[in-house]
Amino acid sequence: MTALVFVDANVFLYAHHANEPAKQARARAWLEHLWRTGAGRTSMQVLSEYYVNLKRKEFSGLSPEGAWDYVAALLAWTPRAVDEQVFVRAHAIEARHRISWWDSMIVAAAQLQECELLLTEGLQDRGAYGTVTACSPFTLEAGEPSAAYEAGARLPNPHRPRGRPRRKLREAPAARL
Protein backbone atom coordinates (compact mmCIF):
# COMPACT_ATOMS: atom_id res chain seq x y z
CA MET A 1 0.00 0.00 0.00
CA THR A 2 1.18 3.50 -0.79
CA ALA A 3 1.68 5.81 2.17
CA LEU A 4 -0.57 8.86 2.33
CA VAL A 5 1.22 12.13 1.54
CA PHE A 6 0.13 15.59 2.70
CA VAL A 7 1.06 18.40 0.29
CA ASP A 8 1.74 21.97 1.42
CA ALA A 9 0.89 25.05 -0.68
CA ASN A 10 4.49 25.72 -1.71
CA VAL A 11 4.63 22.40 -3.61
CA PHE A 12 1.45 23.26 -5.53
CA LEU A 13 2.85 26.71 -6.31
CA TYR A 14 6.20 25.40 -7.58
CA ALA A 15 4.30 23.28 -10.10
CA HIS A 16 3.36 26.60 -11.79
CA HIS A 17 6.62 28.50 -11.23
CA ALA A 18 8.47 28.62 -14.57
CA ASN A 19 11.29 30.72 -13.02
CA GLU A 20 12.44 27.61 -11.09
CA PRO A 21 12.42 24.85 -13.76
CA ALA A 22 14.13 22.19 -11.62
CA LYS A 23 11.72 22.70 -8.73
CA GLN A 24 8.79 22.94 -11.12
CA ALA A 25 9.67 19.57 -12.66
CA ARG A 26 10.06 17.91 -9.25
CA ALA A 27 6.82 19.38 -7.90
CA ARG A 28 4.94 18.25 -11.02
CA ALA A 29 6.42 14.74 -10.74
CA TRP A 30 5.19 14.49 -7.15
CA LEU A 31 1.71 15.77 -7.98
CA GLU A 32 1.38 13.41 -10.95
CA HIS A 33 2.46 10.50 -8.73
CA LEU A 34 -0.06 11.45 -6.04
CA TRP A 35 -2.91 11.83 -8.53
CA ARG A 36 -2.05 8.45 -10.07
CA THR A 37 -1.85 6.60 -6.75
CA GLY A 38 -4.66 8.47 -4.97
CA ALA A 39 -2.32 9.06 -2.01
CA GLY A 40 -2.45 12.88 -2.04
CA ARG A 41 -3.95 14.76 0.90
CA THR A 42 -4.15 18.44 1.83
CA SER A 43 -6.26 20.86 3.89
CA MET A 44 -8.59 23.79 3.31
CA GLN A 45 -5.94 26.02 4.91
CA VAL A 46 -3.42 24.93 2.27
CA LEU A 47 -5.90 25.35 -0.58
CA SER A 48 -6.72 28.87 0.64
CA GLU A 49 -3.04 29.83 0.65
CA TYR A 50 -2.56 28.21 -2.78
CA TYR A 51 -5.48 30.13 -4.29
CA VAL A 52 -4.42 33.51 -2.91
CA ASN A 53 -0.83 33.09 -4.11
CA LEU A 54 -1.79 31.63 -7.48
CA LYS A 55 -3.67 34.84 -8.31
CA ARG A 56 -0.56 36.99 -7.70
CA LYS A 57 1.31 38.69 -10.52
CA GLU A 58 4.14 36.11 -10.82
CA PHE A 59 1.50 33.78 -12.22
CA SER A 60 0.04 36.56 -14.39
CA GLY A 61 -0.86 34.11 -17.12
CA LEU A 62 -3.74 32.91 -14.95
CA SER A 63 -7.01 34.70 -14.54
CA PRO A 64 -8.76 34.40 -11.18
CA GLU A 65 -11.04 31.83 -12.81
CA GLY A 66 -8.03 29.89 -14.08
CA ALA A 67 -6.50 29.92 -10.59
CA TRP A 68 -9.81 28.74 -9.16
CA ASP A 69 -9.90 25.81 -11.62
CA TYR A 70 -6.56 24.50 -10.33
CA VAL A 71 -7.65 24.81 -6.71
CA ALA A 72 -11.14 23.40 -7.29
CA ALA A 73 -9.64 20.27 -8.89
CA LEU A 74 -7.91 19.53 -5.56
CA LEU A 75 -11.26 19.30 -3.79
CA ALA A 76 -11.20 15.73 -5.12
CA TRP A 77 -8.54 15.03 -2.47
CA THR A 78 -11.18 15.74 0.22
CA PRO A 79 -9.10 18.37 2.03
CA ARG A 80 -9.24 18.45 5.80
CA ALA A 81 -11.29 21.34 7.17
CA VAL A 82 -9.93 23.52 9.95
CA ASP A 83 -12.14 22.21 12.73
CA GLU A 84 -11.95 21.75 16.48
CA GLN A 85 -9.82 18.59 16.22
CA VAL A 86 -7.24 20.31 14.00
CA PHE A 87 -7.22 23.34 16.27
CA VAL A 88 -6.65 21.37 19.48
CA ARG A 89 -4.04 19.09 17.90
CA ALA A 90 -2.21 22.10 16.42
CA HIS A 91 -1.99 23.69 19.86
CA ALA A 92 -0.29 20.56 21.25
CA ILE A 93 2.08 20.38 18.26
CA GLU A 94 3.00 24.04 18.57
CA ALA A 95 3.89 23.58 22.25
CA ARG A 96 5.80 20.35 21.78
CA HIS A 97 7.78 21.08 18.61
CA ARG A 98 8.04 24.87 18.92
CA ILE A 99 7.00 25.50 15.32
CA SER A 100 4.77 28.30 14.02
CA TRP A 101 1.03 28.16 14.49
CA TRP A 102 0.43 27.85 10.73
CA ASP A 103 2.89 24.98 10.40
CA SER A 104 1.34 23.34 13.46
CA MET A 105 -2.06 23.49 11.75
CA ILE A 106 -0.60 21.77 8.67
CA VAL A 107 1.08 19.04 10.72
CA ALA A 108 -2.15 18.51 12.68
CA ALA A 109 -4.19 18.14 9.49
CA ALA A 110 -1.61 15.68 8.13
CA GLN A 111 -1.69 13.62 11.33
CA LEU A 112 -5.48 13.54 11.44
CA GLN A 113 -5.55 12.27 7.86
CA GLU A 114 -3.07 9.53 8.83
CA CYS A 115 -0.39 10.77 6.45
CA GLU A 116 3.15 9.46 6.90
CA LEU A 117 4.80 12.13 4.78
CA LEU A 118 4.39 15.90 4.61
CA LEU A 119 5.83 17.50 1.47
CA THR A 120 6.90 21.04 2.34
CA GLU A 121 9.79 23.44 2.26
CA GLY A 122 8.48 25.17 5.36
CA LEU A 123 9.76 22.66 7.93
CA GLN A 124 13.07 20.95 8.61
CA ASP A 125 13.80 18.32 5.95
CA ARG A 126 13.30 14.82 7.41
CA GLY A 127 11.94 16.34 10.64
CA ALA A 128 9.65 14.02 12.59
CA TYR A 129 6.45 15.42 14.08
CA GLY A 130 4.81 12.50 15.79
CA THR A 131 3.61 10.11 13.08
CA VAL A 132 4.40 12.55 10.25
CA THR A 133 7.80 13.12 8.64
CA ALA A 134 8.31 16.42 6.82
CA CYS A 135 10.38 16.21 3.64
CA SER A 136 11.31 18.65 0.94
CA PRO A 137 9.93 17.42 -2.38
CA PHE A 138 13.25 18.50 -3.87
CA THR A 139 15.36 16.06 -1.83
CA LEU A 140 13.07 13.06 -2.15
CA GLU A 141 12.12 11.34 -5.39
CA ALA A 142 8.43 11.04 -6.18
CA GLY A 143 7.20 7.62 -5.21
CA GLU A 144 10.27 6.76 -3.14
CA PRO A 145 9.36 3.83 -0.88
CA SER A 146 7.90 4.78 2.47
CA ALA A 147 10.80 3.21 4.36
CA ALA A 148 12.93 6.10 3.10
CA TYR A 149 11.01 8.61 5.18
CA GLU A 150 9.69 6.69 8.13
CA ALA A 151 10.70 7.95 11.53
CA GLY A 152 13.28 5.82 13.32
CA ALA A 153 12.49 3.42 16.11
CA ARG A 154 11.64 5.08 19.40
CA LEU A 155 14.36 4.85 22.02
CA PRO A 156 13.49 3.64 25.51
CA ASN A 157 12.76 6.37 28.04
CA PRO A 158 15.96 7.01 30.07
CA HIS A 159 14.04 8.58 32.95
CA ARG A 160 12.61 6.69 35.88
CA PRO A 161 8.83 6.53 36.09
CA ARG A 162 6.99 9.23 38.01
CA GLY A 163 5.17 8.66 41.26
CA ARG A 164 5.77 6.42 44.21
CA PRO A 165 7.42 3.08 43.60
CA ARG A 166 5.05 0.19 43.71
CA ARG A 167 5.33 -2.10 46.71
CA LYS A 168 5.40 -5.76 46.17
CA LEU A 169 2.45 -7.43 47.76
CA ARG A 170 3.40 -9.71 50.57
CA GLU A 171 2.18 -13.19 50.29
CA ALA A 172 -0.43 -14.00 52.90
CA PRO A 173 0.90 -16.35 55.56
CA ALA A 174 -0.30 -19.89 55.21
CA ALA A 175 -3.49 -20.48 57.14
CA ARG A 176 -2.90 -22.27 60.42
CA LEU A 177 -4.68 -25.52 60.86
pTM of the model: 0.78
Helix (H, G, I), strand (E, B) or coil at 113: coil
C-alpha 161/C-alpha 42 separation (Å) is 39
Q: Is residue 177 part of a domain?
A: no
Residue 154 lies in a domain: no
In a domain, 32, yes or no: yes
Residue 44 lies in a domain: yes
Quote the CA–CA distance of 50 and 44 in Å, as a whole number: 10
Among 39-48, 58-67, 104-113, the range scoring the smallest mean pLDDT is 58-67
How far is 135 from 122, CA to CA, in rounded Å?
9
- Tell me if 151 is assigned to some domain: no
Is 175 domain-assigned? no
Residue 16's domain spans which residues?
A: 5-145
Structural domains of the chain, count: 1
CATH code for the domain in which residue 13 is found: 3.40.50.1010
141-176 per-position pLDDT tens digit = 887 544 444 444 455 556 556 666 666 555 555 554
166 within a domain of the structure (yes/no): no
